[in-house]
Structure 1
Amino acid sequence: MMALGLLAALGIVFFFCTHPTSGSYPTAQNVTWKSNNFKTFLTWEPKPSANYSYTVEYSALGMDRQRNLLCIRSSGTWCDLSDSLTDLKACYTADVLSEPPLGASSEIIEFPYTSAPKFCPYKDTNIGKPEFKLEVSEDKRMTTLYVTDPPTALYKDGRHLNIRDIFSKDLEYKVTYRKNKSTGKKVLTSNSSVIEVKNLDRGESYCFNVQVYIPSRSPDKQLGELSLTQCSPDDPTIVTTYSVGVIAAAIFLILLLIGIVIAVIVVCCKHRNKALKNEKEGVPLRDKV
């Protein structure tokens, strides 16, 4: 009888080890949204053991909950919801449920879960750094920036969308520029992808940075990632090519050379005039008729 009781006890232990109750499933921790250019992931930790898995449920506020087919009873610690959050101006909530592993059954009705904070793609996705090209005007007083609107992770009617397709009139660009090798900065904003920076000093090289600016967002989300720095080419002049000492020495040599030339001309003229005078004095007067 004792042996049978021991076997029964071991069976119960084995059952609960292979079919744990809701309290025995560890819940997900650090559930966080990570989104860049509308490429949106829900992430969490830790990686589950072989005894349980994770399922993600999400919904727009006030709507029914849904599941992404790739994030049901998964052993991963992230879920790509980029294509699931179709209404970009809506706000979403999500839960990460701890469930039995794929293929296992359970009598539990409600599994433990951890909720993610509210996420609004239009207001919260981070915007990456833009790329741009420079063109300097003929008079060297204006530089035009041709900005490429950053692409997003989204498609519509088979076309890859960029951030201007989504933000439209809300999209602006902030340009920060300065003279090369200078720390003083100036800033301008433009709602166009073609930006003219005017009234620049002729012959100076300027350096530019560009970032997306969304004024309608909260202050901490208005600016995108800063672009790489690009500088316009130098317009070499005597002042920028040579030092002040070299220029001063060159001017002195030129003036000295001019002085020598003038002195030689003066001496030559004096010698010529003297020779002519002597020649006239040496000619005898003609006798009167």
Structure 2
Amino acid sequence: MTDSTLLFSVFKGNPELPTAVNITWSSINFKTILQWQPKPSGYFYTVEIHGQISDTKKKCILTTETECDVTDALRNVKETYTAHILSVTSSRMDNFEEPPFAASEKFTPYNQTVLGKPEIRNYTQKGSKLNVVFQDPLTPYTFPNGSFQSIRDIFQHDLEYKLYYWKDQSSGKKDVTTKSHTFEISVDSTKNYCFYIQGIIPSRRENRNGQESTVLCTSVGRNILDGRYLLKFVIQSLAF
């Protein structure tokens, strides 16, 4: 995956049950999946999410899976969390003995979630201007009215976007940056251009650059050439 991969194991409690290893956080646009190994046989896993200031939350209780969606346990995205993967039998959950567990590395969603692909909604090349309109990726978190928050709603001024563009069939790439949802750049009106967009968090030390959008290309140059060819064809036809 293209996300933060964090490995760590700590063993506590009764060691008679196997404990999880290779614990990883996988997070894109704040949707966060915890993964680990091995597949259990004769026992279960229960995930505990420990925050610095929030209460401990239990997720995927008595699961035989080796992954767990912990997104809704990380709503305070600037808080730092640690996951405990408990190895349990169904009866052990009811007594006071601490089950063996493995602990993940620390994870801070705001600093470590990967920015997903922006969605390009519209683009036009008219004359010497290329205009591109795009949309922020959405997160799993919602406003009180039920609508989904975008990554811009969470990152606000920490978020910017970069447009990379180049003449079709050329290797010379240029880029421009914006904090809005649109780009307007000057181009050669007779050439086609290809481009893509990428979200960026400049303040980050790691995972600064997000996933790249789909590469799209304009077709204005082809239309001009096609029009000239069509006009030439019509003139030649009339000549006969």
TM-score (norm 1): 0.69
Q: Distance in 2 between matches of 1:196 and 1:105?
A: 59
> Does 1:92 pair with 2:84?
no
**Structure 2: which amino acid aligns with 1:222?**
R
Change (3 A) 1:135 1:234: closer
**Structure 1: which amino acid aligns with 2:124?**
E
Q: Distance in 2 between matches of 1:173 and 1:107?
A: 52
Gaps of 5+ in 2: 1-12, 230-240
Structure 1 residue 38: deviation in Å?
0.8
Match of 1:179 in 2: 167
Match of residue 65, structure 1, among 34, 49, 56: 56
TM-score (norm 2): 0.82
Alpha-carbon contact 1:56-1:97 (below 8 Å) kept: yes
Structure 1 residue 22: deviation in Å?
2.3
Alpha-carbon contact 1:22-1:108 (below 8 Å) kept: no
Q: Distance in 1 between matches of 2:19 and 2:70?
A: 20
Match of 1:27 in 2: 19
Question: How far does the alpha carbon of each residue in 1:143-195 deviate from its partner, in whole angstroms, 9 at most, with x for none?
Answer: 11101111111112111111111111111111110000001100111111111
Structure 1 residue 62: deviation in Å?
4.7
Match of 1:207 in 2: 194
Match of 1:56 in 2: 47
- CA RMSD in angstroms comes to 2.3
> Does 1:167 pair with 2:155?
yes
Alpha-carbon contact 2:125-2:220 (below 8 Å) kept: no
Q: Distance in 2 between matches of 1:239 and 1:188?
A: 30
Change (3 A) 1:221 1:240: farther
Q: As a proportion of its length, which structure holds more helix?
A: 1
Identical aligned residues as a percent: 39
Name the count of aligned residue pairs: 215
Match of 1:193 in 2: 181
Change (3 A) 1:232 1:48: same
Structure 1 residue 203: deviation in Å?
0.8
Residue 72 of structure 1 aligns to a residue whose secondary structure is strand
Q: Distance in 2 between matches of 1:164 and 1:229?
A: 22
Structure with the greater alpha carbon radius of gyration: 1
Residue 204 of structure 2 aligns to a residue whose secondary structure is coil
Alpha-carbon contact 2:131-2:182 (below 8 Å) kept: yes
> Does 1:43 pair with 2:35?
yes
> Does 1:114 pair with 2:102?
yes
Alpha-carbon contact 1:37-1:152 (below 8 Å) kept: yes
**Structure 2: which amino acid aligns with 1:46?**
P
Change (3 A) 1:108 1:27: farther
**Structure 2: which amino acid aligns with 1:128?**
G
Gaps of 5+ in 1: 1-20, 243-289
1:126-275 aligned within 5 A: 126-132=114-120, 133-137=122-126, 140-157=127-144, 158-198=146-186, 200-218=187-205, 220-235=206-221, 236-237=223-224
